Chain A
Amino acid sequence: MRLLNIKKLKFLHCDSVDLQVRTSEVAGLSGASGSGKSLFLRALADLEEHDGEIILDELNQQSIAAHLWRQKVALLSAETSWWFDTVEEHFDELSESNMDDLEFLNHGFSSLGFSEDVMQWSIARLSSGEKQRLGLLRLLQNKPDVLLLDEPTANLDKHNTQLFEAFVLQYLKDKSACAIWVGHDHEQLQRISTKRYEIVKGQLKNVS
């Protein structure tokens, strides 16, 4: 069993957030802009200063190096960044290029609606929706146990949103992982999440 246990988490505007997310669960999180949803995810990935305890299974966030934690608890931000010229270079840097990884990637590309030559595409011609879908695959190369998704389908059309949701849910099932999914689309959150939360005035409210 996997368990992400958040105890008395405090950051910028929020104090004392408690939350548990278990294997294959998706916690759907909404809230007004500026309510601190993104900061919450950044604190979980240890990219933002915070107080309180965040424990993955038996592992305390502060007990391992930050970059190792981020490989286990992976944040997909609303805007992904790309710094090399082609898609391939971004994947090469993280991959150990064994057969499993390659198979996973090829499966991912086709599941998310990309053709086989996507690796050769130049970053300059990617649309924001393509960046979001490729950003997910790039992140999943680390085989994270927890996925933190910050409005991951904001730039996707209906068809690609469905592909994206199905792919994430399948990943959680295959890897016994769990996710926190931040979004504005209440229908979507209803559809994919196993429990629903909202951040209101610095408090995390269960709205399942």
Chain B
Amino acid sequence: MLVELSSFDLSLAATLVVLLGALTAYMQLGITKQLYIAAARTTVQLLLIGLVLKSLFASTSMAFILLISLIMISVAGWEILSRQTRKLKGWWGFGISTGSLFVSSFIITLLCLITVIQADPWYSPQYAIPLLGMLLGNTMTGIALGMDRLIQNAWQQRPVIEQRLMLGQTADESISDIRREAMRAGMIPIINSMAAAGLVSLPGMMTGQILAGAAPVEAVKYQILIMFMITAGTGLGVISVLWLISKRLFDERERLCFKRLLKDTNSRHK
């Protein structure tokens, strides 16, 4: 049924990535190293998880599955931070991103497993792990984009924020436009996916289920469920991150507090 891919097929695709890397290096776009690292990681990580996925799904220990979920959340939180141009100092950046992933992705997955899917037991790994994974993957993107936009814009528009403070606006009012912009940036990917679903893109999970012989209507229902969960998760996650970071950018006397940020790390990537 499935057309088997040879190593030659894969190396053909890999060549494309290498060419892209060469092109970005030539144009000095500063993304080459990140691109290669990410490509290498996707290969190694998927190979490894492919090997253990079957035994992972066979596990029935709740503690073990909880542990896996926590690892997934921490890694996602860490990845969000790695995408930031300017980070909050100390554990704040990691704390805020991981905490927001927890309240959005983790709790929504839990809710969905218990009330909607109702597998037996409710933590059955073949539902819990992929569901959490899909939520985290998308929420992570939204949060990374929103967070980066908020901090970068606040940094660049410092004179405007301070002017608004001088005019007697509260810290919250003075950054409201920037936060609105950041919210939009964080939500664009998921709004795009929902708007294009079925017309432009065929979601991978649904297509896979139908090809594997599942009833189309059932597969579609699952996909809609996932889409809505991702949307709610991303929205909640981005909102909480933006709220927490804009609090952190001001001190108790409503002054911009950029000494809580690390220096721009992006310029170091060559």
A66 within 8 A of B: yes
A 33-64 binary contact with B (CB < 8 Å = 1; else 0): 00000000000011111000000000000100
A contact residues around B171 at 8 Å (CB): 67
Measured CB to CB, the closest approach of chain B to A192, in angstroms, equals: 22
Contact residue range for chain A? 20 to 34
**Which residues of A (85-118) have their CB < 8 Å from a CB of B?**
94
Measured CB to CB, the closest approach of chain A to B36, in angstroms, equals: 40
A contact residues around B255 at 8 Å (CB): 46-49, 66
- CB pair B170 A67 closer than 8 Å: yes
- CB pair A77 B166 closer than 8 Å: yes
- CB pair B166 A47 closer than 8 Å: yes
Measured CB to CB, the closest approach of chain B to A113, in angstroms, equals: 22
- CB pair B177 A46 closer than 8 Å: no
Alpha-carbon separation in the docked complex, A72 to B170 (Å)? 14
B254 within 8 A of A: yes
B165 within 8 A of A: yes
B130 within 8 A of A: no
- CB pair B165 A67 closer than 8 Å: yes
A80 within 8 A of B: yes
**Chain A residues at the B interface, C-beta cutoff of 8 Å:** 45-49, 62, 65-68, 70-71, 74-77, 79-83, 94, 138-139, 142
Measured CB to CB, the closest approach of chain B to A149, in angstroms, equals: 12
A contact residues around B159 at 8 Å (CB): 79, 81
Q: 18 new A-B pairs (CB below 8 Å) besides A74-B167, A83-B160?
A: A46-B253, A47-B162, A65-B170, A65-B254, A66-B253, A67-B168, A67-B171, A68-B168, A70-B166, A70-B167, A71-B168, A74-B166, A77-B162, A77-B163, A77-B166, A80-B163, A81-B162, A81-B163
Alpha-carbon separation in the docked complex, A154 to B228 (Å)? 57
A contact residues around B177 at 8 Å (CB): 83
Central interface residue in B157, B163, B168, B177, by most chain A CB within 10 Å: B168
Alpha-carbon separation in the docked complex, A65 to B168 (Å)? 10
B contact residues around A79 at 8 Å (CB): 159
B contact residues around A70 at 8 Å (CB): 165-168
Chain B residue at smallest Cβ distance from A94: B167
Contact of A67 among B157, B160, B162, B254 (CB under 8 A): B254
B169 within 8 A of A: yes
Alpha-carbon separation in the docked complex, A81 to B253 (Å)? 21
Measured CB to CB, the closest approach of chain B to A65, in angstroms, equals: 7
Contact of B167 among A65, A68, A139 (CB under 8 A): A139
Chain A residue at smallest Cβ distance from B171: A67
B contact residues around A75 at 8 Å (CB): 166
Alpha-carbon separation in the docked complex, A148 to B162 (Å)? 15
Alpha-carbon separation in the docked complex, A49 to B253 (Å)? 9
The 5 closest A-B pairs by CB, nearest first: A71-B168, A81-B163, A66-B254, A66-B253, A81-B159
A46-B255, A66-B253, A66-B255 known; A138+B162 contact, CB < 8 A: no
Chain B residue at smallest Cβ distance from A50: B253
Measured CB to CB, the closest approach of chain B to A142, in angstroms, equals: 5
Central interface residue in B160, B162, B166, B171, by most chain A CB within 10 Å: B166
Measured CB to CB, the closest approach of chain A to B90, in angstroms, equals: 19
Measured CB to CB, the closest approach of chain B to A118, in angstroms, equals: 18
Q: List 30 A-B contacts (CB under 8 A).
A: A45-B166, A46-B253, A46-B255, A47-B166, A49-B255, A62-B253, A65-B254, A66-B165, A66-B255, A67-B168, A67-B169, A67-B170, A67-B254, A68-B168, A70-B167, A70-B168, A74-B166, A74-B168, A76-B166, A77-B166, A79-B159, A80-B163, A81-B162, A83-B157, A83-B160, A83-B164, A139-B166, A139-B167, A142-B167, A142-B168
A contact residues around B165 at 8 Å (CB): 47, 66-67, 70
- CB pair A81 B170 closer than 8 Å: no
Alpha-carbon separation in the docked complex, A136 to B131 (Å)? 57
Central interface residue in B170, B171, B254, by most chain A CB within 10 Å: B254
